[in-house]
Amino acid sequence: MSSETIKLTLKVWRQTESDPGRLEDYQVEINTHMSFLEMLDVLNEQLISEKKEPVSFSHDCREGICGACSLVINGRPHGPMQGTTTCQLHMRHFEDGETIYIEPFRAKAFPVIKDLVVDRSSFDRIIQAGGYVSVNTGGTPDGNAIQIEKDTAREAFDAAACIGCGACVASCPNASAMLFTSAKVSHLALLPQGQVERRARALKMVSRMDEEGFGACSNVGACEAECPKEISIANIARMNREYISGVFGSAKKV
């Protein structure tokens, strides 16, 4: 075995809608240059060659942009590396002979579809409730047509970096979606284009979040620590202010 090849024991969660699920053991030999998802591809090729059911897992861009590759690896959403999605995690961060636990994100609002795949459409419904702006359609406006103060633009951009992966929910002991929702509220509340719906936005999105079955925020801070885009929990404070402004019927300047 070369220095770039390692053997691993994988304990992978297997589940269908009709069974409670269980961990199954697998052995793989992989190259340390592989990404975590490429390692799962190797496992599935091995299972298919043995005429066994491959492991279902979500993925799309494999560039850390879409958030589809949401897995809990050794108890941590997206694995051991800070500010990294599962698809960007490489096997050089694991040791030869190591045992790796691979599970789906667990939350009432993220029901398991199959194996490592969960239904995160609850996030889509939160966005649909209020994560939009009213603008006139037409040609593309000039990039500098609306001048925005630099620090405000930076804060809005940082909040908009949220990819909606759900790591905040998976890491929170209450399965709260406050970090995700607050990021979506913040980047619109900070920009002039988002002012038309500002009074109602937080009310609608928080209400929908509660309807979906997410828990309450208790300021543990695990959401910020595990977020692959390192979204700040300061956004939660901003959303709370937006919510209070909505309740009292006046848009408060942030």
pLDDT one-digit tens code per residue, 210-252: 999 999 999 999 999 999 999 999 999 999 999 999 998 754 4
Does residue 254 register a pLDDT over 60?
Answer: no
pLDDT, mean of residues 199-210: 95
Same domain, 178 and 236: yes
Tell me the whole-structure pTM to 2 decimals. Answer: 0.91
How many domains, in total, are found in the chain?
A: 2
Same domain? For 81 and 37 the reply is yes
Helix (H, G, I), strand (E, B) or coil at 103: strand
Would you state the structure tokens that stand for residue 154, as one six-digit string?
């930076």
Residue 253 lies inside a defined structural domain of this protein: no
Q: Give the pLDDT of residue 251.
A: 45
Q: Which domain holds residue 182?
A: 120-247
Span 66-77, average pLDDT: 96
Domain boundary among 54, 88, 113: 113
The residue with tokens 């595990």 is 226
Integer angstrom CA distances of residue 79 from 108, 214, 244:
21, 23, 36
The answer to whether residue 26 sits within a structural domain is yes
Indicate the residue among 55, 89, 113 that finishes a domain: 113
- Shared-domain flag, residues 93 and 34: yes
Question: Do 148 and 233 fall within a single domain?
Answer: yes
Q: Is the pLDDT of residue 1 over 50?
A: no
Long-range contacts of 41-48 (CB under 8 A, 24+ apart): 43/10, 43/12
Angstrom distance (rounded) from CA 42 to CA 40:
5
Nearest to 217 by CA among 206, 228, 229, 231: 206
Q: What percentage of the chain carries pLDDT values higher than 90?
A: 83
Compute the radius of gyration of the chain from its Cα atoms: 21
Residue 252, in any domain of the structure: no
